């Protein structure tokens, strides 16, 4: 039975060092995951993803805040409520292959059911179903030590789902796998979780993984949730400069807002040229801004007229086979542009016309980070 997860004003302060220093690893984080939804926490190392997940699991005692699962209060330090991990009925999958090395695949998957005193008949049925789900039925009687990394992670997944947890918690489950296996298992994971209809909280620092796996993505930094939204919103309407940069909008162009009209504005660049961009809330006329733009959103072959046309000088070209990265000098700044496909259309040291789609140029206050 999958359940809704509510995290309310979660805060976890660690005290470390000598003299002791207090630091909030998770700082007033609130979010809700609907039953059957997958939410991915994404952010750089140390931003508080694992601590958030451990608080949900009951492995970490928050300083304040509440964790509500399926309408039941599991954590509320102010009220003295802290349900222990084993009583939360959660499934967990971690980075390391936490499988029992002395057992077979089947014994590993059956283990949580044995510990719960399930009848033999019900156990056999559930184990067979779980093994089918992760496509390991034919490996059932192999010792887990004779499996590949990806297969071991599938055993860990089957084992965490076999007792039908309320919520599945996954912390970088793919990070120990090689690149190819990682891509395959990434797609498999979403399919398997969706087939069972589990509510899942998934932690990663890999933006591509977050986009493929999550119904919604929560981008974190320094213990704070910066934006929680669908992958398309995160990629097309990043809330701030950090979310834009972390999700791949690596180009930053500086300027000043000349005029604002609705949610768009004309930005004057240092060269005197004008660029039209989407303005975030609270960006005013006369204000200095930083404009974020994804390399893959630079239009290297604009057709027709209008729409932020600029002359650009091709400073360098990096052919990568299935794509080409260009470094372009444009309006006094250097930006990167990406051309998809095996054909690289432009030569180094030439001048070309490019367009920067106004809707995909996002302006934020220059003081933000
Ligand atoms: N037990 C602890 N004692 C003291 N500080 C801790 C402890 N656990 C985590 N921290 C600190 O809390 C912050 C958040 O850590 P956390 O493990 O949640 O980050 P993360 O987002 O999972 O990072 P990563 O991507 O590297 O796994 C870090 O600054 C970390 O050093
Ligand atoms: Mg972590």
The model's pTM: 0.92
User: pLDDT 10s digit of each residue in the chain, 369 long?
Assistant: 689 999 999 999 999 888 999 999 999 999 999 999 999 999 999 999 999 999 999 999 999 999 999 999 999 999 999 999 989 999 999 887 678 889 999 999 999 898 888 899 999 999 999 998 888 999 999 999 998 888 888 899 899 989 889 999 999 988 888 888 888 888 888 998 998 899 999 999 999 999 999 999 999 999 999 999 999 999 999 999 999 999 999 999 999 999 999 999 999 999 999 999 999 878 999 999 999 999 999 999 998 877 899 999 999 999 999 999 999 999 999 999 999 999 999 999 999 999 999 999 999 999 887
- Residue 210 CA to residue 232 CA, distance in Å, equals 11
* CB distance 16 to ligand 1 below 6 Å: yes
**Substitution site in 7, 11, 13, 14 for ligand 1 pocket (most atoms within 8 Å of beta carbon):** 14
Pairing of strands 224-229, 251-261: unpaired
Q: In 3D, which of 330, 290, 323, 326 has the Cα closest to residue 308?
A: 330
- Determine the atom of ligand 1 nearest the C-alpha atom of 41: 21
Q: Whose CA is nearest to atom 3 of ligand 1?
A: 14
Question: What is the phi-psi region of residue 127: left when phi exceeds 0, alpha when psi lies from -120 to 50, beta otherwise?
Answer: alpha
Taken in order of first residue, the domains within the chain and their CATH numbers are: 5-241 (3.40.50.300), 251-365 (2.40.50.140)
Contact 227, 64 (CB under 8 A): no
- Residue 354 CA to residue 200 CA, distance in Å, equals 42
Cis peptide upstream of residue 19 (ω within 30 degrees of 0): yes
Instruction: Using the mean position of ligand 1's atoms as its centre, give its distance from the Cα of residue 32 in Å.
Output: 22
- Residue 46 CA to residue 223 CA, distance in Å, equals 8
* CB distance 49 to ligand 1 below 6 Å: yes
């Amino acid at each position: 039975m999958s359940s809704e997860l509510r995290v309310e004003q979660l805060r976890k302060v660690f005290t470390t060092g000598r003299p002791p220093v207090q630091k909030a690893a998770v700082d007033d984080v609130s979010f809700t995951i609907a039953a059957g939804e997958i939410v991915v926490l994404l952010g750089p190392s140390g931003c508080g993803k694992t601590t958030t997940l451990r608080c949900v699991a009951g492995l970490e005692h928050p300083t304040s805040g509440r964790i509500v699962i399926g309408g039941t209060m599991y954590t509320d330090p102010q009220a003295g409520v802290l349900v222990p991990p084993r009583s939360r009925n959660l499934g967990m999958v971690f980075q390391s292959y936490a499988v029992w090395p002395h057992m077979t695949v089947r014994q590993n998957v059956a283990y949580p059911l044995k510990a719960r005193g399930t009848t033999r008949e019900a156990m056999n049925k559930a184990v067979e179903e779980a093994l089918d789900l992760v496509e390991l039925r034919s490996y059932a009687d192999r010792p887990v030590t004779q499996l590949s990394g990806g297969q071991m992670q599938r055993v860990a997944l089957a084992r965490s789902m076999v007792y039908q947890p309320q919520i599945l918690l996954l912390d970088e489950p793919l990070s120990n796998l090689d690149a190819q296996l990682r891509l395959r298992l990434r797609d498999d994971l979403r399919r398997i979780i969706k087939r069972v209809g589990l509510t899942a909280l998934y932690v990663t620092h890999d933006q591509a993984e977050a986009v493929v796996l999550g119904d919604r993505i929560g981008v974190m930094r320094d213990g704070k949730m910066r934006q929680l939204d669908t992958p398309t919103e995160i990629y097309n309407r990043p809330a701030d400069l950090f979310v834009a940069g972390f999700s791949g909008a690596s180009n930053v162009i500086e300027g000043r807002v000349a005029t604002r009209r609705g949610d768009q504005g004309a930005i004057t660049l240092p060269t005197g040229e004008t660029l039209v961009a989407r303005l975030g809330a609270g960006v005013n006329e006369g204000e200095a801004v930083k404009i974020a733009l994804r390399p893959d959103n630079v239009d290297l072959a604009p057709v027709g007229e209008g729409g932020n046309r600029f002359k650009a000088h091709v400073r360098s070209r990096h052919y990568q086979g299935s794509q080409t990265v260009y470094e372009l000098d444009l309006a006094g700044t250097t930006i990167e542009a990406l051309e998809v496909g095996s054909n690289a259309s432009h030569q180094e040291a030439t001048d070309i016309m490019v367009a920067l789609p106004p809707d995909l140029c996002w302006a934020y206050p220059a003081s933000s980070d």
